C-alpha cells in the first residue's frame, strides 16, 4: 500500500517466509512451484545463498542443467568451497556429459575433504564414463569403504555398465 513502509526486519521475515514456502514445495516434489518462490526471494535479494542453492537443485530436478549450473555459480562466486553447490554443479555437468568439468568440481571438494564419499562416488561415475576403469575402481572402492551404501548403489548404476564384467567391480558391489 502507498504510504506504508516496512522495516528491514519485516522484509527479511517476508523473504524467509517465501523461501520456506519454496522449500516446502521442493520437499514435496514440486520443483516448478519451488522455483517460483525462490525467484520471488531472489528478486529482492539476488545474493540469498539458500534460495540460489535450492533453485539450482529444483532446476536440476526438471533437467534444466545449464540454468542449475548458473545458480550454483552465483553461490560459488561468494563461497567458492560450498560443498553442496560444487557437488550438484558436478552432477549437472555430468548429466550434460561434460565429465572433465564434473571431475573438476569433485576434485575441489576432495581437495578440502579427502574422504567425502559422495564426491568420490560421483567422480567414480564420471571416470567410468570416461573409460578410466582403474581410476573409477579406486574411487569407487574408497567411497564404499567410507559408506557401504555406495556398493549397493553402484550395483544398479548405469554409469558403471562398462565395469559390469570386471571381477574387481563385482567384488566391490557384492
- Tens of pLDDT, residues 20-34: 999 999 999 999 999
**Per-residue pLDDT at 5:** 47
Per residue in 106-139, pLDDT (tens digit) is: 999 999 999 999 999 999 999 999 999 999 999 9
Reply yes or no on whether the pLDDT at 58 is more than 60: yes
The CA–CA distances, whole Å, from 70 to 54, 76, 88 equal 12, 10, 11
Average pLDDT of 141-156?
A: 97
Q: Which distant-in-sequence residues (6+ apart) come within 8 Å of 136 by Cβ?
A: 124, 125, 127, 128, 160, 163
Which pLDDT score, from 0 to 100, does residue 3 have? Answer: 46
All residues at 6 or more sequence positions from 92 whose CB lies less than 8 Å from its CB, including other chains: 56, 60, 65, 66, 68, 69, 72
Report residue 4's pLDDT band, with 50, 70 and 90 as the boundaries.
very low
Mean pLDDT of all residues in the chain? 94
Task: Identify the CA nearest to 51 among candidates 35, 67, 70.
Answer: 35
Tell me, what's the pLDDT at 8? 62
Question: What mean pLDDT is predicted for residues 34-54?
Answer: 97
Percent of the chain with pLDDT over 70: 95
pLDDT (average), residues 154-169: 97
For residues 104 and 12, what is the distance between their CA atoms, to the nearest angstrom? 36
In this prediction, residue 11 carries a pLDDT of 74
Helix (H) and strand (E) counts in the chain: 10, 0
Q: How high is the pLDDT of residue 7?
A: 53
Residue 40: helix, strand or coil by DSSP?
A: helix
CA atoms lying within 13 Å on the CB side of residue 127: 20
Residue 165 has φ and ψ, to the nearest 5°, of -90, 0
CA distance 60 to 37: 16
Structural domains of the chain in order of their starting residue, each with its CATH number: 8-80 (1.25.40.10), 99-174 (1.25.40)
3-class DSSP state for residue 97?
coil
Q: What is the pTM assigned to this prediction? A: 0.90
Cα(119)–Cα(105) distance, integer angstroms: 9
Amino acid at each position: 500500500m502507498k504510504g506504508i513502509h516496512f522495516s528491514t526486519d519485516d522484509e527479511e521475515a517476508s523473504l524467509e517466509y517465501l523461501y520456506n514456502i519454496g522449500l516446502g514445495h521442493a520437499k514435496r516434489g514440486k520443483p516448478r512451484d519451488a522455483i517460483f518462490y525462490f525467484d520471488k526471494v531472489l528478486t529482492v535479494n539476488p545474493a540469498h545463498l539458500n534460495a540460489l542453492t535450492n533453485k539450482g537443485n529444483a532446476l536440476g530436478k526438471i533437467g534444466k542443467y545449464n540454468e542449475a549450473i548458473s545458480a550454483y555459480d552465483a553461490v560459488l562466486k561468494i563461497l567458492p568451497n560450498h560443498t553442496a553447490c560444487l557437488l550438484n554443479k558436478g552432477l549437472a555437468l555430468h548429466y550434460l556429459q561434460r565429465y572433465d568439468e564434473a571431475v573438476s568440481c569433485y576434485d575441489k571438494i576432495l581437495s578440502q575433504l579427502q574422504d567425502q564419499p559422495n564426491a568420490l562416488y560421483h567422480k567414480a561415475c564420471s571416470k567410468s564414463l570416461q573409460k578410466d576403469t582403474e581410476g573409477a575402481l579406486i574411487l569407487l572402492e574408497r567411497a564404499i569403504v567410507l559408506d557401504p551404501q555406495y556398493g549397493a548403489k553402484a550395483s544398479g548404476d548405469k554409469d558403471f555398465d562398462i565395469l559390469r564384467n570386471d571381477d574387481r567391480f563385482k567384488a566391490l558391489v557384492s
